[in-house]
Amino acid sequence: MRIKPGNAYPLGATWDGRIGTNFALYSEHASRVELVLIDADGGEQRVPLRERTAFVWHAFVEGVGPGQRYGYHVDGPWAPEEGLRFNPRNLLTDPYARAFSGVTRWEDGAFSHDIASDSPDRDLIANPRESWGVPLGVVIDPRFDWQDDRAPRIPLHKTILYETHVKGLTMRHPDVPLELRGTYLGVASPPIVRHLTELGVTAVELLPVHQFVDDKFLLDRGLRNYWGYNTIGFFAPDVRYRSGERVAAEVQQFKEMVRALHRAGIEVILDVVYNHTAEGNHLGPTFSFRGIDNPTYYRLVPGDPRYYFDYTGTGNSLNVRHPQTLQLIMDSLRYWILEMHVDGFRFDLAATLARGLYEVDQLSSFFTIIHQDPVISQVKLIAEPWDLGEGGYQVGNFPVRWAEWNGKYRDTMRSFWRGDGGVAGDLGYRLSGSSDLYQNDGRRPYMSVNFVTAHDGFTLADLVAYDRKHNEANGEDDRDGCDNNLSWNCGAEGPTDDLEVLALRRRQQRNFLATLLLSQGTPMIAGGDEIGRTQGGNNNAYCQDNAISWYDWELDDERRALLRFVRRTIRIYRDHPALQRSKFFKGRKIRGGDVRDIMWLRPDGEQLSDDDWQDPTTQSLGMFLAGHGVDDVDDEGEPIRDDDLLLLLNGGREPVEFVLPPLHRAWERLLDTADDEAQGLVAGGARADLPPKTLALFRGVDPYMPHET
């Protein structure tokens, strides 16, 4: 085996396509770095990296190619009180590994400190034993025939997000071949692609697919880290979702999934976790970053660098202020865009990435670099705009080009349909694009990612069936998960045979989904809500890699009816540009008359006054959207025109009569959550009955055709 100096860039293991592989690892504080090559039988060969350029240790090794498993030994000071935790007995994985050979083997050791010690200061004692339990990196062949793959590039204001999980979506689908269930190829299979296209969504937002770690405390309980918010490899698609046993095949299979979804016109958004890693706090395992260069990669406590800042509730926070950590994140993002062809990212606990010393800083280096990057700045960027630290709730405060999960939208809609008073004013803002959050900083209505449910919390079916969480299966005595869910069980907790309760729950599910899809902004559907998926009241199913989380595709009549309703509502959304505005309403007059681009109506047909907005008893209102008030042009530069639309909402527990405005001779009923089959025309100026907890959508029609009065 011939060893050459190699190059300091790119970082990671890079096969040259012919002779061998270049290995490059950043460590500013290490005194020695050793590459460990491991064969299929577990035999090893150690290669000292003698070249060091700008803190990057590197070598080119001839004869090494795709499929080669490898790791590192990194030596340096063992001085935890100074933030340095080098232990050359630890085998470490490459932060830039493009694939992994498997998952963590806890029984083979994964700690740099002495966990066998009973001392409360055991993290200060170096582990005297060999530790080989980390998942090994794998050299890959990056070549792939993308054929005619093209990014759909769907404008955000025309996007419908579908948040889902690779395994949960596919594991129980009867038409997905057994060997493909729970895998990237399962998502690419015709039954899944057909469901997504018939549903009408334009993008899948996948829960984390970066290589992650199953926490040992969960494995000891017989559970798994199902959601995957425990990353250890920011460049590698997780090996758990591979079909078959061929090493590194998951890289090609992920690309096949993206290619298949793109052909169907569906974008791929990744939920990414750049705020922390799987290594936890000072008592956590050492897989990679901690043992390679602890103060480079982690936010350590000033004056006491033995300990870690924890804005995430996971034990550590990545040190995004360090140039090398920033480079790692930017290199990872560009890799997934350029090599894996993904269309955007949702950043978990994104406020952590914006932090200065203690405060959230909108102008942090992280956002500055992304803003000027010609690759990353051009894909969809979505923030979860909060973390667990002080001042971490930053909804509405992210920079231009960033969309945000709008937690205020979720809470307002839950409160309104539950029947809480005093939310009318917030409701108006949320229905019309949340201008109070996004209008004055150069952003648009579609920067508000509207959602009612997500992976974290109740499913929609559970939101209307439970007043409290039921997380006993998680093994934490029901202490985990949020206690303030703004849910309402409609009269009975959990499963019931009460027909009135069941009918109300069906209507409430439709209310939430229709409101979501008829509001201005970018709607996000939690996968499975369209088929009435339940988790039995578990609102924190992060560790349930089983039927609690996997979608049940055996649909009864009620769940099929719900799916038809959602498909129909999405078709209405996509057919009407008035529901997909790219600009905020101006309240301007249309056609020189008294009609404005948006008008808010009381049930008696009069416009809402300031007193009505502030009245805690206001639980019913109408929103009129002028079809000639879209204030935008199409791709040809022609003004966009639509029908006049009228959305009526009755969040109260009594029926309400709405006077339909006499702006048209008739209004056609497009949607009614109290009756899936409701249709026909209502004369302008006539009354329309809305039962309790009901939403209805009408379209202005001329000439008048008296089918209904």
Residue 601, amino acid: L
DSSP three-state, residue 337: helix
Hey, what are 134's tokens? 């980390």
Closest CA to 408 of 366, 450, 371, 367: 450
Spatial distance between the Cα atoms of 23 and 94, rounded to a whole number of angstroms: 10
Spatial distance between the Cα atoms of 261 and 185, rounded to a whole number of angstroms: 11
Spatial distance between the Cα atoms of 573 and 578, rounded to a whole number of angstroms: 9
123 is catalytic: no
Helices 557-575 and 190-199, packing angle to 10 deg: 60
Spatial distance between the Cα atoms of 556 and 10, rounded to a whole number of angstroms: 53
DSSP 271-331: EE--S--TT-STTS--SSHHHHHHHHHB-BPTT-TTSB--SSSSS--B-TTSHHHHHHHHH
Phi then psi dihedrals of residue 336, to 5 deg: -70, -30
Hey, what are 56's tokens? 């990057």
384 is catalytic: yes
Hey, what are 612's tokens? 């009505």
What value, to the nearest 5°, has the Cα angle with vertex 9 and ends 7 and 10?
125
Spatial distance between the Cα atoms of 76 and 31, rounded to a whole number of angstroms: 5
DSSP three-state, residue 563: helix
Spatial distance between the Cα atoms of 296 and 291, rounded to a whole number of angstroms: 11
Q: Given the residues 384, 404, 642, 644, select the one marked as catalytic.
A: 384
Residue 573, amino acid: Y
Residue 445, amino acid: P
Spatial distance between the Cα atoms of 108 and 452, rounded to a whole number of angstroms: 43
Spatial distance between the Cα atoms of 559 and 565, rounded to a whole number of angstroms: 10
Q: Given the residues 279, 310, 348, 642, select the one marked as catalytic.
A: 348
For tokens 């409290």, what's the residue? 468
Side-chain-side CA neighbours of 16 within 13 Å: the count stands at 15
Spatial distance between the Cα atoms of 590 and 596, rounded to a whole number of angstroms: 5
Closest CA to 620 of 675, 692, 531, 686: 692
Residue positions annotated with a catalytic role: 348, 384
